Amino acid sequence: MKKFYSLLIILGLVLFLAACGGNSDEDTGADDSSTNGDESNGEEAAEGEIPETLVMGFVPSQDSDTIADTVEPLAERLGEELGINVEGRVMTNYNALVEAMGANQVQVGFIPAFGYVLASEQYDAEVILKSIRYGSGTYKAQYVVRSDSGIESLEDLEGKVWAYADQGSTSGYLFPANQLMEEFGYDTAAELESNFFGGSIASGGHDNSAISVLNGDADVATTFDDVRTELEEEYPTVMEDLSILGYTDEIPNDTISVTKELPDEFVQQIKEAFLSFNDDEEMIQIMNDVYNWDEIDEASDEEYDVVRETYQKFKDNIEL
């Protein structure tokens, strides 16, 4: 009987210890939950980590192969300044660059004003720098026609064939289209193209648009000012063969913009690296070879409000 009571006592102790162990496990489980919470915070922080390879995106304002070649030394030098791999990637058009930034496949975009407005509105991209050309942070779009065309005014463009880079181009499409819509009373860009012009060509680049006019495939091209200088080597008489019919209002220069995923400290490093190129003749020459940048300057989001206002007229009517 004593043995029986002893066994009962031992069994009771075992059950008691087991119960204590269960409580201990529950406490440990609570600690694990706390650890998991910390890990979750760590994953959120990872969204702001510096990428192994920083990708810069470009759009084809000129021949894509030419840009691809000229951005290589820029990527190499920026990589040296930042201490990481930097890759340059030429996109098919403006919208492709915006979408790539939205997907964080491109972290630094050399993106024109309208592209920046889209990237900012849709994906919270941030403008950090802008180009300076001929001492100015703004530029105008121009209407290019053949000098022997007989076209002397915007009114003369009615029924003619219009060449532009693509519908996402600030100077190639948006500002000229806006000006013509206001001038001739059209509510949408689609109406302008179908009712005012006799046809249109989306050429894929400003130089291609000018060449279309030069070759007689289009009557007018809308481009940045002055695209003809880009063509002089291949077309030595282009300044005489093509004339400037007129200009649009001022447009903010193109940007260097970054995605929201990059850490603020790293964005500042990128900014300082680019600004340091102003004191390096070789790097400024590379920037000039890429996009005709003479200097790099700081930029603010407010500078692009005029482009936002223009965009509101087009957002429901153009295909990007």
Range with the largest mean pLDDT of 211-215, 306-310, 314-318: 211-215
DSSP letter string, 30-64: HHHHHHHHHHHHHHHHHTTSPPSEEEEEE--SS-H
Extract the runs of DSSP E, i.e. beta strands, from the chain: 53-58, 85-90, 108-111, 126-132, 138-146, 161-164, 199-202, 220-224, 242-252, 255-258, 295-298
To the nearest whole percent, how much of the chain has pLDDT over 70?
81
pTM of the entire predicted model: 0.69
How many alpha carbons fall within 13 Å on the CB side of residue 269? 14
For residues 212-227, give the mean pLDDT.
96
Report DSSP state, residue 256: E
Report whether pLDDT(34) > 50. no
Looking at residue 105, its pLDDT comes to 96
Q: Which segment of 31-40, 226-235, 292-301, 311-320 scores lowest on mean pLDDT?
A: 31-40
Residue 148 pLDDT: 97
Residue 264, SS3? helix
Give 288's pLDDT tier (boundaries 50, 70, 90).
confident
Summarize pLDDT for 208-219 with one digit per residue, the tens.
999 999 999 999
Q: How far apart are CA 111 and CA 98, in angstroms?
A: 8
Band of residue 319 on the pLDDT scale cut at 50, 70, 90: low
The closest alpha carbon to 256, from 49, 93, 59, 47, belongs to: 59
Q: Which of 20-34, 74-88, 252-266 has the lowest mean pLDDT?
A: 20-34
Quick: pLDDT tens for 61-89.
Answer: 555 456 667 788 999 999 999 999 999 99
Using pLDDT thresholds of 50, 70 and 90, give the confidence band for residue 202.
very high
Share of the chain above pLDDT 90, in %: 66
**Per-residue model confidence (pLDDT) at position 76:** 94
Task: Tell me what the pLDDT averaged over the chain comes to.
Answer: 84
